[in-house]
Amino acid sequence: MCGIVGYVGPKDCTEVLISALSKLEYRGYDSAGIAVFENGQISVEKAKGRLKNLEEKMEKGHRPKGHVGIGHTRWATHGEPSDINSHPHGNKRVSIVHNGIIENYIKIKNFLVDKGYEFVSETDTETVAKLLDFYYEGNPVETITRVLGEIEGSYALGIMFSEYPDTIYAARKDSPLIIGVGEGENFIASDVPAILKYTRHYYLLEQNEIAVITKDSVEIKGLHGEKIEKELQYAGWDEEAAEKGGYEHFMLKEIHEQPAVIKRTILPRIMDGMPFLEECGITSEMLKSFRKIYIVACGTAMHAGLVGKYVIERIAETEVIVDIASEFRYRNPLIGKEDLVMLISQSGETADTKAVLRLAKEKQATTISVVNVKGSSIARESDFVIYTHAGPEISVASTKAYSVQLSIMYLFAFQLAYAKGIIDEKRCRELTLELQEIPDIIEKALEIEEKCQFIGSRLMNADSLLYIGRGLDYALSMEGSLKLKEISYIHSEAYAAGELKHGTISLVTDEMPVIAVATQDDLLEKTISNIKEVKARGALVILICKETTDVSHDIADYQVKVPVAEDILMPMAAAVPMQLIAYYTSVLRGCDVDKPRNLAKSVTVE
Ligand code: F6R
C-alpha cells in the first residue's frame, strides 16, 4: 500500500512527481503529497484525498519549483486520511515518504517525546522522520543506517536532507522500491509504471539496501557501508501498456486484454504440444515427488488457487489444500520438506502471502510462486517462479491477472497428471490444445458484453445478491461475487449451491437477485434444482451457462450463454461475463470503477 516516488534531474520536479504519482494511485488514494527543494529549502505540499486535490490546491496556492523531490500517495494505516497525516513527514532538516508499517513506532515515539520532540500526526512514519533528525550529524547514510537498525517492520523510504539539496536517499525492507535510471536524471518509485514516461531502465533495490541518488549517479550500499553492484533491469512494456488505450476504464481494457495475455503466458510453457514448466526450472520428476500441495494466496489470487485445486484434484488425482494467506500463516500449518507450497500473487508483494512464503521456506518446503510483477519480493524469494505475463494491471479489481493465474493452474495440473501417469500423452496433448484455444473462446465470450451491460442494469438497484454454483462453478462464483461487491459496493456472497438450504436460503426474497453459475455438465441437474428453490422464493435469477446448455426459459429470468470449452476449462470462459457484469453494474451505479473506495492494488500490510 502507498506509492512513493522521487526525482533528481533537470525537469520541473513537481510535474514529474505528480505524473509519477498518478501512475501509482492504484496503491492508495487517501491523500497525496510532495516535498521539493525550492531555493535550498524543503517545500512541502499535501492534501487529503485524490492526487487531483493536491493539484488543485497547488494551482490555487503554492506550487513548489525545483529539480529534486519526493512524493507519496497514501493508503491509510496509522491515522485517518487527513491533511496532517499525509506524507511527506519531517521538519526543515529532513523530509520522508514511506510505504509500509513501522511496528515499534510507539516505543520510538515515546523515546523521542522524552527527548523533547513534538508530533503533529498520528502516523508511524513521523517517528522515522524525527528519528532521522535526532541522529543526524551531517552524514545522511550513517544516519539512515542507524535508524534502520532501530526500526522494525516494513518500509520503502524516500528521504531528503536539507543540507544535501542535490540528492535523494532511499532504503527498503519488505516493501518494493525501484530506482529509475535516466540520462542526467534519476528516479525512485514503488512500481515501474511510475517511471515509464521517462525511462525503461531501473535497478531493483533489495532488502536492507540504501541508495544515494543524484542526477548523474546511483550508489547502492549495504547496511555495513559496502558498495553493491546491480544489474540494470529493462521494462519490456512501455507506457502505453499502462494507459487506457481508448477504453473508458482500465478494468474494461484489462478484461479485453485477456486473450492476448493468456497466449503470452501459456505459449512459452508449451513445447511440442505438451505442458513445459521446465521453462521455469520445474521438472516433471520434481512435480510428482511432492507429498502434499498447498496453494496459498489472498483475494482473487486465492480464488484462482481454488480453481487450481478442483482441476489438480480432478485431473492429477492429487490432494490440494488451498488457504487464505492471512489465516494459513497463523495456524501452525503442517508443512514439511516433502511438500510443495505454491504462492499466487499478481503484485508479488502481498504481505501475508510473502509471510507464508517465508514460513514455508523455514519449514524447508519447496516453494513455487505464480507472480505477475517481475522482480517482486515473492518472485525473488521463492525457489521457482512462474511469471504470468499479464503486463501491468492498473485497475484495482483484478481481471486479466486472474485469467493468467488460472491458465498456469491448468498447465501445472496437466503436467503433474502426465508426470504421475494419471493421463496419457494423448489426453495431455488434447487438454493442452484445449487450453490453447481458450484465448479464441474468450474473444467470443467478450461478444456478450452488451448482454452483461443489460444484466448490470437489472442488478444496479439491488442491496444484496447471491452467487451460487457447484464445484468449479462455486470456485468461480467466489470470484464473481468479490468482483461485484468490491467495485459496485453491493453486498454479495457466493454460496455452494447445495449449501443454501442449510441456512442462507432464508435470505432469499424477490429483493435478492441470484446469479447461478452452471457450466459443468455433471452438476447441471443438481444446480438447476437449487435454482428452482430460489426462483420459488421470488428471486430474480440470472443463469450463466454454456451456449449449448438447453434448459427451459422459465428456469431463470435471464440466461447468459458462454461459448463452450471443455468443462474443466469453463471457468476461464465464464469468468468473462462475471467480470463484465460487475464492471457494468459499477459503471451504472456511478462508482469509481478502477479505484474502489478503501482498496489498494498492492496490499503490503497485514
Ligand atoms: C481483487 C483483488 C485482490 C487481490 C489480493 C491479492 O480484485 O485484486 O483480492 O487479488 O489483494 O493481491 P496479489 O495478487 O497482488 O497478491
pLDDT digits (tens, 9 = 90+) for 473-499: 999 999 999 999 999 999 999 999 999
Q: Is the pTM of this model over 0.85?
A: no
C-alpha to C-alpha distances, 28 to 15, 44, 208, 488, nearest whole angstrom: 20, 20, 24, 18
CA distance 464 to 462: 6
Q: What is the pLDDT of residue 577?
A: 98
**For the CA of 346, the nearest atom of ligand 1:** 14
Q: Which of 123, 141, 111, 157 has its CA nearest to residue 5? A: 157
Confidence of residue 448 (pLDDT cuts 50, 70, 90): very high
Query: Are both 238 and 334 inside the same structural domain?
Result: no
Exposure class string for 356-394: b at 16+ Cβ within 10 A, else e:
bbbbbeeeebbbbbbbbbbbbbbbebbbbbbbbbbbbbb
Q: What mean pLDDT do residues 277-297 have?
A: 95
Q: Which residues line ligand 1 (CB under 6 A)?
A: 298-301, 345-347, 350, 353, 397-398, 482, 486, 602-603
Take atom 10 of ligand 1 and give the residue whose Cα is closest: 300
Ligand 1 atom 9: residue of nearest CA: 299
Q: Would 596 be classed as within a structural domain?
A: no
236 and 307 part of one domain: no
Distance 357 CA to ligand 1 centre (A): 16
268 and 158 co-located in one domain: no
Residues 561, 462, single domain; the answer is yes
Is 73 in the same domain as 207? yes
Provide the domain count of the chain. 3
> How far apart are the CA of 603 and the centre of ligand 1, in A?
8
What does the block give as the cell for 57?
490546491
Same domain, 148 and 31: yes
Residue 17: pLDDT band (50, 70, 90) is: very high
Active site residues: 2, 601
Would you place residue 375 in the very low, low, confident or very high pLDDT band (cuts 50, 70, 90)? confident
Residue nearest to atom 3 of ligand 1 (CA): 299
> Is residue 54's pLDDT more than 70?
yes
What pLDDT shows up at residue 603?
Answer: 75
What's the gap in Å between 140 CA and the centre of ligand 1? 37
Distance CA 541, CA 543 (A): 6
Nearest atom (ligand 1) to Cα of 373: 15
Do both 208 and 324 map to the same domain? no
* 273 grid coordinates: 504440444
Whether residues 223 and 282 fall in one domain? no
Instruction: Check whether residue 221 and residue 275 sit in a common domain.
Output: no
**pLDDT digits 0-9 by tens, 532-568:** 999 999 999 999 999 999 999 899 999 999 999 999 9
Q: Which three cell numbers stand for residue 503?
A: 441456512
* Residue 587, C-alpha cell as written in the block: 459503471
The pLDDT of residue 600: 76
Structural domain of residue 560, as residue ranges? 447-588
How many percent of the chain have pLDDT more than 90?
88
Give pLDDT, residue 240. 64
Within a domain: 335: yes
What's the 133 CA to ligand 1 centre distance in angstroms? 37
**Mean per-residue pLDDT over the chain, rounded:** 95
Domain identity same for 199 and 260? no
Atom of ligand 1 nearest to the CA of 378: 16
Kindly state whether residues 474 and 345 are assigned to the same domain: no
DSSP letter at 375? Answer: T
Say what the pLDDT of residue 244 is.
77
Residue 214 lies in a domain: yes
Amino acid at 14: T
pLDDT at 344: 98
CATH number of the domain enclosing 531: 3.40.50.10490
| pLDDT at residue 237 in the model | 67
Mean pLDDT score, 338-366: 96
Does residue 491 form part of some domain? yes
- Side chain identity, residue 188: I
Question: Which range, of 386-395, 419-428, 458-467, 510-519, averages the lowest pLDDT?
Answer: 386-395
Cα 393 to averaged position of ligand 1 atoms, centre (Å) = 11
Mean pLDDT of 23-33: 87
Residues 6+ apart with CB under 8 A from 374: 233, 387
From atom 5 of ligand 1, which residue's Cα is the shortest distance away?
299
Residue 219 inside a domain? The answer is: yes
- Alpha carbons 258 and 401: distance in angstroms, whole number: 9
- In ligand 1, the atom with minimum distance to the C-alpha of 405 is 14
Q: Using an 8 Å Cβ cutoff, are 86 and 73 in contact? A: no
